[in-house]
Structure 1
Amino acid sequence: MTVRLFPEFDSVSRHSTGRLFQCRIVFALILCFLGLDFFPFPAAQAGEVELEHGTIIRGSLVPILGLTDALASKLEGDVPIQESARTFDGAPIYLVDDGMVRYFVPRRQVVRKNQDQELSRLETFKLPQKVTGRNQMLKTVGSYIDVTDFDKFGRRTVTLNTSKGNLALLQGVTEITPHHLKLTGLKQQWDLGLRTTSIKEDVLDAMLNEAIDHLNPNERIAVARFYIQAGLYLPAGEAFDAIERDFPEYKEKIATYVSELRTLHSQQLLNELNQRRRAGQHRLAQNAIMKFPTNNVAQSILRQIREVQDDYNKQQEQIDKARIRLGELEAEIKDPATRNLLQAYRREVMTQLNFETINRLGAFLNLENDDSLTAQEKLALAYSGWIVGAANVVTDLNTALNLWTARAQVLEYLRTENEQLSDQMLETLSKLEGVSAAVVKQMIPLLPPILDAPVRDITNSFPVHVTDPKAEVPVSYSVLLPIEYDPHHTYPMIVALRPSTLDANSVLDWWGKYKNGPGQSQRRGYIVIAPEYLSKDQVNYEDNVTAHYAVIESIRDARKRFNVDSDRVFLSGHGTGADAAFDIGMSHPDLFAGVMPIAGKTSAFNLHYWQNAKDLPFYIVGGELDRDTLEHNSLVINRMMRYGYDIIYAEYKGRGYESYYEEIHNLFNWMELHQRLKYPKDIEEKILRPIDNRFYWVRTEDLPAKSMQPVTFNSNQRIRARPVELKVNIKIGNVIYVRSGGKINTLWLNPELVDFDKRLEVRIDGQRKFNDFLRPDMKAMLDDFKNRGDRQKLFDARLDFF
């Protein structure tokens, strides 16, 4: 077996393995010096923490003062010593060790902790290993060149890429748990873990068979229970079948376990079915219903399956009814011109009517049998609902038909670059009866794609070239769409930045492919794009403006071609891409719902920009032996944790520079719990580059040259300039205060931010610049949407100050 990894660097430094012990000693000495009683930190206990956003992390729980010894010893920031002495909860960070990964989380993010979890009931198996030559200790682990499969004794050979050439090392499994395998170096000091579910099932089975007496039924039962605890239900079922076959007298003894297994497996299948529905994969969901096992399944689960099936049947009945009733009602229309229009519109509706769009006709279907409504009024409900949604329908047919005309004009406006034509379209829109800026705002979320999507085969990735005529440099990206992609379903999106040594398909495959079949992004219903953000032959990320521009333009272009949920766009990267993700995420926090750097390092800009990310969640993954990564990143991450930012740092023990595919399920579970912050009323950001000048609903331009950094910046440089500080606040009384170093400032506003029914005052750097009523501006709204392609964040007005 060859593992696909991301080879890139080789380093020699590493943080201390004894930091937890040293943290406790430093803390004890400080308390003694202050004359306070010292209650030593409790030994690590099995437990769990629940974070504010909903993630639950299980393992041994220890409060710590800092990510590294040096940071812990400083006792910087906001740690109250007296509180720490009494409860130990004053420590700003919790370390949760699950045996394979150390998860660092901010104490302020923890809403519940439990240190009484019972883990002793988990089935665990030992494998004896002969260890020699333990004098050598690996200080860093670079990229893997090759990894063999484990043999039945739990041994394998790992070939590493080092500065001295390839190095083959022998590893052995010493313990197998339902969660992970413990490994050790047989000829060098190297202790690490691997997730149990990452091991091939036949290889795992061979190791377990070697660890037990195959003729002992109780040990065979322990193996079957192990599989249940690991979530490997099919192997568990096979194991119980084999026990019943070899030891028929044990049938009753294992009956309870088999019943538990069936319940867990059916619940797993139900969860998968519901996940398919949420992802818009209705054909797969219906196939799963047809194949769902019904024998010996809990009635509660069968009831949920019936409810899902009934819901699909009801929706199909509505689709069939809509097809029939629209034709019948159309036949009652006497005016030939109106009937011809309705026929054309009905063809579109019939072509696109499915489980994703039937809700647009909800108002029509609820009232299609109402005798108090005329045929014209019922058709108005249907055709207005198709354009602006069932919650915004009208009963006047002429107004409903105007909405279709307006939609055509809006699409043309968004697609044309001819300013004269644009003005004409706006004039046409303004004259249409029943069409206002508010109506156009209702229309935008349901618009077809602004740009064509060059989709040939949605099962594989394909390239896209940004066609924006105003693009400053050529921009391209690759796309991998989810299974059963439907332009009427709204999808979250992952922006994946590749390592410099691999192409875009490497990160697309990591997120969305598995053994040449659909992987997690395709199964869970995520679009993944991989912008080409590095120049040819570029090895290191250089914090450059071009990379930022390529990523931002790729996101905007993808929003215009695909139905992207802009509230759930996540930025990720591996290696060099992770370095870029740190920088781009903190520079443009309003674009993302979260950032997931994997095996990456923070940059000089992050030392200034970390406060920009106060509302931007981070999930960071790295290895204990990957260069000096934690030591390096801690300068930024420790501050974020002490201030209670939404952040998880997962450090794999004994692991180096890898892709960490084992963490992918946790990453998707984490993404499911996050959405971006859209309309903050208090904004405080730092700016060191002209491209980092728009945050949420504010943009500042013409910034002081002395603070702006070069277009291309070496990450090893130190930034000596003082950043420009942008501070914006919306106060009671409908007043906006802006402090900005820029000479030009632009505000995009909507009723979620200010009251359009009251006079608005805007003060910039202490001077009143605006004191009037705002009025919705259709041109401002459409121009901003045309620029950003963001359907979920629309603005009704724009104010420019020079």
Structure 2
Amino acid sequence: MTVRLFPEFETSLSQWSRYVSRSGRLLLAGSLCLLVSLCYSLTAQAGEVEVEHGTILRGDVVPILGLTETLSSRLEGDAEVKLPPRKLEGYPIIMVDDGVVRYFVSRRTLTRINNDQDLSLYETFKLPQRVTGRGQMLKVVGSYENVTDFDKYGRRTVTLKTNRGMLPLLQGVTEITPHYLKITGLKQQWDLGMRTTSVKEEILDAMLKNSIDPLDPNERIAVARFYIQAGLYLPAGVEFARIEEDFPEYKEKLAGFVTELRTLQSQQLLNELEQRRKAGQHRLAQTALAKFPTDNVDQSILRQIREFENDYSHRRERIEKALFRLGELEAEVKDVKNRDLLQACRREVNSQLNYESIDRLGAFLNLENDDSLSAREKLALAYSGWIVGAANVVTNLDTALNLWTARAHVLEYLRNEDEQLDDNMIETLSKLEGVSTAVVKQMIPLLPPILDTPIRDPENAFPVQVTDPQAQVPVSYSVLLPLEYNPHHTYPMIVALRAAGSKAETELHWWGKYKNGPGQSQRRGYIVIAPEYLTEGKREYKDNASAHYAVIQAIRDARKRFSVDSDRIFLAGHGTGADAAFDIGMSHPGMFAGVIPIAGNSSAFNLHYWQNDKDLAWYIVGGELDRDTLEHNSLLVNRMLRRGYDVIYAEYKGRGYEHYYEEIHRLFDWMELHQRVKYPKEIEAKILRPLDNRYFWIRTDGFPRHILQGPEYVGNGRIRARPVTLGVSIKLGNVIYVKSGGKSYSLWLNPELVDFDKRLEVHVNNKTKFNDFLRPDMKAMLDDVRNRGDRQKLFDARLDF
């Protein structure tokens, strides 16, 4: 009766959550928030909330005034009497407690709050534990040196590394739900939670079986239902089969559960298939389609499977037709002059035509049997579409072939290291008939990699050395590509910063490898790079200009080598890497779609920079007993939440300094919902360091002496600062106003920001610096691509003052 998955997808999602890396240092613990506990007792309501970007959080919904009691009383007065406890209005922050994690979000970002979730529907199992020595409260949780597996009674030993040596602690599971395990210290006061799916299935099964009467079929059915609710469909199927074998008279009663299980399992497989297709992993997707179980599967799922199969069949037919017709049409062209170039075009298309690139020939395939078009015109449709996309095709073959020549010149320009040749190369490009700045702009997103990077083993990480001849210091990074990497597919990218003392490979594996198999980034189609941002031997991050430079250069280099979607770059880090992610992300918000600090502390600069990143999304993960992390970050995060910024703060209850692999699926789901903000027309930013001088489409230089010297540290990680404010706005009438303490400015502009058909005025510090029509500038566009490698945000002109 067990419904089996096909081999490529037999590992369930839960099995990807077993690995939890551990750091090697002891950290101080943070204190519990009394205000949260108070509000919880008064207002906890089981339900769910939906954030405006699409994330849904489920658990007990609690309105609070601040992340800590101190902040709440300082900002709002007495929390106990401020508002009636059941009303959410007036409370700026909503906490959602799912049993393991407290998620904090801004109430202003919520689109829906539902307090009607019935938790009694979930199967729950109690495990009796004998608790002794509860007078001692555990306030510090450092690194886990060793953790044993739970036995069938739900007990295990956790050995913590402390400054007094190794400390073994006995823990016991008191409650098992489909979503989490409640765990308590048996000799110390230490209460925490753990995701159910992070426990090995055989261990979970042993604990469940030990908590029930195996001769009671209803209790056995409860276990099977528990597995369904936990999303563990394979063990659910096994359990139903065992129940039917032990209690054949229950076969009819089990039928409804088994039907539900098959539907859920099929839907899970379907979702996995769709994810693989979206990630460009078509070989895996087609193998899965061929082995998809169809017996007793819901018709709606079968219909979607047929749609997938038909789409792949249609694409295969179009590829075969394109290859055949290009050869036929070329034979009809008697133009000897262009024969060699036509053959070269067809060779490239033949070698690179696949499921990802076939859409470039869409216009050609739609019109290839149109008798009103000549063979030359049809070839023009094909070969121009290959260079500039199906929406920008031409019917003149000479013009189409000019596009191929232009692409070669563009690549040569972008790869050129001798700037003295730039003007000559631009002049050559401009003289090609049919090639303009607008055409080059269409061409850039479809270019081959600007930098050649041999990929010998695409499924494993490999090092890359940045080769920018203008690099101030050597920069390197490691990269892990997704499965079936294809340069014709555009991939989101994670910039992962390692903790001090760990290796870049460890960070890459957290995101993308699982034991010896593919992990989440490889499965979901994300590129991951790990820049070497810390100098050798450095154990902490603090106002590190070289780290900023290394991360930014690594991103720019990766965009030139790999097919990166620059609108979906996420900065993340663990420990020291999270400290750096706080600082770098807030200092360069225009580069990222989101920032994910895990077990990190915010920078002293963040308290001055936090308003700079009002359009940047944040997902912050920490532990309740990890140093004083909550207290350290609370003022910053509290301000962002109260202002309505897109922030999720996830605090694991009773947990310390960890890597929190349990959060991996939610992190990827969150990333799927975010992309870099459209460049704003209104910018107001504070600048404290010369390296933080570019915001979106404007850069300023020539700072006063106190900025060049850097801020003064005054203790407790704080700085005495006098920031320079950069204010920029684009107003009606095609007018740009710039105000700042800098002495020089560069503005990169495109039609999304200003109207190129109208006269543009630029006023800098109340002085008119420009009053004329903007003209598209091919050199300015290509120079910016060569510098930043960004193919998603292109600029048609640049102004310097």
**1: CA distance between counterparts of 2:208 and 2:759?**
74
Q: Deviations over 1:275-314 (max 9, x none)?
A: 0000000000000100100000001100000000000000
**2: CA distance between counterparts of 1:760 and 1:136?**
70
Contact 2:143 2:658 in 1 (8 A): yes
**1: CA distance between counterparts of 2:434 and 2:425?**
16
**2: CA distance between counterparts of 1:3 and 1:157?**
16
Which structure 2 residues correspond to residues 426-575 of structure 1 after superposition, within 5 A?
426-575=426-575
Shift of the alpha carbon at 1:711?
9.7
Root-mean-square deviation (Å): 1.7
**2: CA distance between counterparts of 1:619 and 1:718?**
24
Contact 1:498 1:577 in 2 (8 A): yes
**2: CA distance between counterparts of 1:241 and 1:348?**
54
Contact 1:182 1:193 in 2 (8 A): yes
Partner of 1:272: 272
Which structure 2 residues correspond to residues 130-529 of structure 1 after superposition, within 5 A?
130-529=130-529
Contact 1:8 1:501 in 2 (8 A): no
The question of 1:20 aligning with 2:36 is answered: yes
Partner of 1:107: 107
Return the letter of the residue paired with 2:130. Answer: K
Relative to structure 1, the CA distance from residue 56 to residue 442 in structure 2 (aligned partners, 3 Å threshold; closer, same or farther) is: same
The question of 1:780 aligning with 2:787 is answered: no
Deviates more, 1:412-421 or 1:294-303: 412-421
Q: Deviations over 1:627-656 (max 9, x none)?
A: 111011001000000000000000000000
Q: Deviations over 1:213-237 (max 9, x none)?
A: 1111000000000000000001000
Secondary structure of the residue that 2:615 maps to in structure 1? coil
Return the letter of the residue paired with 2:32. Answer: S
Shift of the alpha carbon at 1:8?
3.4
Contact 1:604 1:716 in 2 (8 A): no
- Amino-acid identity (%): 73
Partner of 1:8: 25
Relative to structure 1, the CA distance from residue 758 to residue 83 in structure 2 (aligned partners, 3 Å threshold; closer, same or farther) is: farther
**2: CA distance between counterparts of 1:676 and 1:715?**
35
Partner of 1:27: none
Relative to structure 1, the CA distance from residue 477 to residue 248 in structure 2 (aligned partners, 3 Å threshold; closer, same or farther) is: same
Secondary structure of the residue that 1:728 maps to in structure 2? strand
Relative to structure 1, the CA distance from residue 332 to residue 2 in structure 2 (aligned partners, 3 Å threshold; closer, same or farther) is: closer
Which structure 2 residues correspond to residues 753-792 of structure 1 after superposition, within 5 A?
753-792=753-792
Shift of the alpha carbon at 1:83?
7.9
Return the letter of the residue paired with 1:544. Answer: N
Q: Deviations over 1:174-219 (max 9, x none)?
A: 1100000110001101000110001111111111110111111000
**1: CA distance between counterparts of 2:132 and 2:303?**
58
Contact 2:26 2:163 in 1 (8 A): no
Secondary structure of the residue that 1:540 maps to in structure 2? coil
Contact 1:329 1:379 in 2 (8 A): yes
Contact 1:762 1:768 in 2 (8 A): yes
Shift of the alpha carbon at 1:82?
8.6
Q: Deviations over 1:119-142 (max 9, x none)?
A: 111000011111111111111200
Contact 2:20 2:660 in 1 (8 A): no
Contact 1:739 1:765 in 2 (8 A): yes
Partner of 2:659: 659
Shift of the alpha carbon at 1:712?
11
Shift of the alpha carbon at 1:7?
2.6
**2: CA distance between counterparts of 1:454 and 1:504?**
20
Partner of 2:590: 590
TM-score, length of structure 1 as denominator length = 0.96
**1: CA distance between counterparts of 2:509 and 2:20?**
13
5+ long unaligned stretches in structure 2 = 1-17
Shift of the alpha carbon at 1:3?
5.0
Secondary structure of the residue that 1:752 maps to in structure 2? coil
**1: CA distance between counterparts of 2:298 and 2:718?**
63
Secondary structure of the residue that 2:596 maps to in structure 1? strand
Secondary structure of the residue that 1:719 maps to in structure 2? strand
Return the letter of the residue paired with 2:24. Answer: P
Shift of the alpha carbon at 1:242?
0.6
Relative to structure 1, the CA distance from residue 723 to residue 8 in structure 2 (aligned partners, 3 Å threshold; closer, same or farther) is: farther
**1: CA distance between counterparts of 2:682 and 2:64?**
31
Contact 1:332 1:375 in 2 (8 A): yes
Secondary structure of the residue that 1:596 maps to in structure 2? strand
Contact 1:6 1:574 in 2 (8 A): no
Partner of 1:577: 577
Contact 2:598 2:620 in 1 (8 A): yes
Return the letter of the residue paired with 1:6. Answer: S
Which structure 2 residues correspond to residues 51-70 of structure 1 after superposition, within 5 A?
51-70=51-70
Shift of the alpha carbon at 1:708?
4.0
Aligned length: 782
Shift of the alpha carbon at 1:544?
1.1
Return the letter of the residue paired with 1:404. Answer: W
Contact 1:577 1:600 in 2 (8 A): yes
Shift of the alpha carbon at 1:700?
0.3
Return the letter of the residue paired with 2:336. Answer: P
**1: CA distance between counterparts of 2:82 and 2:246?**
63
Shift of the alpha carbon at 1:343?
0.6
Shift of the alpha carbon at 1:458?
1.0
Contact 1:14 1:628 in 2 (8 A): yes
Shift of the alpha carbon at 1:542?
1.4
Contact 2:360 2:385 in 1 (8 A): yes
Q: Deviations over 1:540-568 (max 9, x none)?
A: 10121100000000000000000000000
Partner of 2:129: 129
Q: Deviations over 1:90-109 (max 9, x none)?
A: 11100110111100000101
Partner of 2:622: 622
Shift of the alpha carbon at 1:720?
1.1
Shift of the alpha carbon at 1:115?
0.6
Deviates more, 1:330-339 or 1:646-655: 330-339
Secondary structure of the residue that 1:361 maps to in structure 2? helix
Shift of the alpha carbon at 1:715?
8.8
Shift of the alpha carbon at 1:457?
0.5
5+ long unaligned stretches in structure 1 = 25-40
Return the letter of the residue paired with 2:675. Answer: Q
Return the letter of the residue paired with 2:541. Answer: Y
Shift of the alpha carbon at 1:419?
2.4
Which structure 2 residues correspond to residues 727-746 of structure 1 after superposition, within 5 A?
727-746=727-746
**1: CA distance between counterparts of 2:372 and 2:593?**
47
**2: CA distance between counterparts of 1:692 and 1:232?**
47
